[in-house]
Amino acid sequence: MTEPETDATESSDGRAAWLWRGATAAFSIPGLILASAFVGFAGLARDAGLTLAQTVFMTGVVWALPGKVVLISAILAGSSLPTAAFAVALSSVRLAPMVVALTPELRGPRTPAWVLYALSHFVAVTSWVLAMERVGDIPRAMRTSFYAGLGLTLVLGNMAVVAFVFVVAGRLPPAVSAALFFLTPLYFLTSLWGSAREKAGQTAMLLGLVFGPVFHLLIPGFDLLATGLLAGFMAFGLHLISKGRKAV
């Protein structure tokens, strides 16, 4: 209803500008933190015996970092193809609700479906949090261009980071690796709070932080799914109760 009228400004010029703005959004603190997480991943893949080409290929086609870590552990454990695929699929279920939440925000009035399917490949935590934070300030018709620039730059940039680290860097001192590995949870902890659309999102985050490790011990493998459903429904229930009170 309050959407700005963007049809008049929808020229090829405008698209290129938003694509560029998306690409530059990758060169930010979140982008830097993600790159440092990929420094750690390159070391993990090399230790697991993967080649440079296999590691860079995996970075591009899987993209989400937790899924790749699970895939590497499955390879290390000598798992069969179906077992490895099942473990990776289980660790990636969270991508579905993330994409469900992002798609209506990215979609313009005339966005073709294939564009949304292609862009969904870029969805992982960093680009999702960045997009949920920023799309509100972007004209609706230009959001897909912005996200394409952001996603492509992050994926290609981190494929380059992985290749560079794989070839050049030796083993990092343990204290440096520990500090690098800790950047990711610290960044997500703070930015996830800021990107919440409503109070219910923050409730869901706090519940998820507590339930995640508990379910990790109780039902390993299904912990993320169980946490998402239980904490998500609880936060939504509280949201409905507080909304009902306001209405009365």
Partner 1 sequence: MSFTAIDTWWWPYVFILIAGWLATDLWRFLGVYFGGRLSDESELLVLVRCIATALVAAVIANLIIFPSGALAATPLLLRIGAGLAGFAAYLAVGKRVLVGIVAGEMVLGAGMFINHAL
User: Is residue 233 close enough to count as binding partner 1 by CB under 8 A?
Assistant: yes
Q: Which is nearer to partner 1, 89 or 169 (CB)?
A: 89
User: Is residue 242 close enough to count as binding partner 1 by CB under 8 A?
Assistant: no
Q: Which is nearer to partner 1, 16 or 118 (CB)?
A: 118
Q: Which residues of 204-222 are buried (b: 16+ CB within 10 A; e: fewer)?
A: bbebbeebeeebeeeeeee
The 10 Å Cβ neighbour count of residue 199 is: 12
- The interface with partner 1 within residues 5-34 (CB under 8 A) comprises 29-30, 33
User: What residue has token string 């949090």?
Assistant: 129
**Rounded-to-integer distance, Cα 95 and Cα 64, Å:** 9
User: Is residue 192 close enough to count as binding partner 1 by CB under 8 A?
Assistant: yes
User: Is residue 193 close enough to count as binding partner 1 by CB under 8 A?
Assistant: yes
User: Is residue 206 close enough to count as binding partner 1 by CB under 8 A?
Assistant: yes
Q: Which stretch binds partner 1 (CB under 8 A): 6-14, 104-112, 144-152, 161-169?
A: 104-112
Q: Which of 24, 164, 182, 218 binds partner 1 (CB under 8 A)?
A: 182
**Rounded-to-integer distance, Cα 118 and Cα 121, Å:** 6
User: Is residue 164 close enough to count as binding partner 1 by CB under 8 A?
Assistant: no
**Rounded-to-integer distance, Cα 179 and Cα 5, Å:** 46
Within 169-198, where are the H helices? Answer: 174-195
Least separation in angstroms between residue 108's CB and partner 1 is 12
Least separation in angstroms between residue 6's CB and partner 1 is 16
User: Is residue 120 close enough to count as binding partner 1 by CB under 8 A?
Assistant: yes
User: Is residue 123 close enough to count as binding partner 1 by CB under 8 A?
Assistant: yes
As given in the structure block, the two tokens for residue 245 are 């009170």
User: Is residue 97 close enough to count as binding partner 1 by CB under 8 A?
Assistant: yes
Q: Which of 102, 141, 154, 161 binds partner 1 (CB under 8 A)?
A: 102
- What is the separation of C-alpha 240 from the centre of its chain, rounded to a whole number of angstroms? 27
Q: Which is nearer to partner 1, 11 or 78 (CB)?
A: 78
SS3 call for 139: coil
Question: What letter represents residue 28's amino acid?
Answer: S
**Rounded-to-integer distance, Cα 25 and Cα 131, Å:** 10
Least separation in angstroms between residue 128's CB and partner 1 is 8
